[in-house]
Amino acid sequence: MQFKAAGADWISLHVETGVTPELINEMKREVKTGIAINPNTPLEAVEPYIEGVDFVLVMTVNPGFGGQRFISTPLQKVKELSQRGVKVEVDGGINEHNIYDVMKMGATMIVSGSSVFGHGDPYARTVMFKRIIEGFVASK
């Protein structure tokens, strides 16, 4: 698999692309595999895949380009999935103002691109996010 050879060990596939259980099974032989869902796609669309994946990626922006504004309505999907014991990743518009709410809904993995790389020193931004996450974990 080319992605594995390039160093990827976690890959998510968007349910909207017509992913199949066979593809998921093939990928799981080499990498952690997740199913991603766009903000307006109903949670029912990932139901057939949940048992076969390592995580579900809930998008809080419409995929395509960085720097979009966070959409909060998908957080209900995060909550529902996490309550069922599903490992949930969230990607899109995550910043220091909304990360706590995202984690509170049950996200265990966070993706933040523009907020880390588009606001000055990426190292300092990463440290800031780490402190927020550590504070959240300590408060539980």
Q: How confident is the model at residue 3 (pLDDT cuts 50, 70, 90)?
A: confident
The total number of structural domains that make up the chain? 1
Q: What is the dihedral of CA 49, 84, 128, 62, to 10 degrees?
A: 40
The confidence score (pLDDT) of residue 68 equals 85
Which domain CATH number covers 21? 3.20.20.70
Global confidence as pTM: 0.92
Range of the domain at 113: 2-139
C-alpha pair distances (Å), 113 with each of 41, 101, 126: 22, 18, 10
Q: Which of 77, 30, 27, 74 is nearest to 52 (CA)?
A: 27
> Helices H, strands E: what count in the chain?
6, 5
For 70, the token pair is: 């966070």
Residue range 45-94, pLDDT digits in tens: 999 999 999 999 999 999 887 888 999 999 999 999 999 999 999 999 99
Residue range 4-27, pLDDT digits in tens: 888 989 999 999 998 999 999 999
Measured CA to CA, the distance from residue 14 to residue 89 in angstroms comes to 13
The confidence score (pLDDT) of residue 1 equals 66
Residue range 84-125, pLDDT digits in tens: 999 999 999 999 999 999 999 999 999 998 899 988 899 999
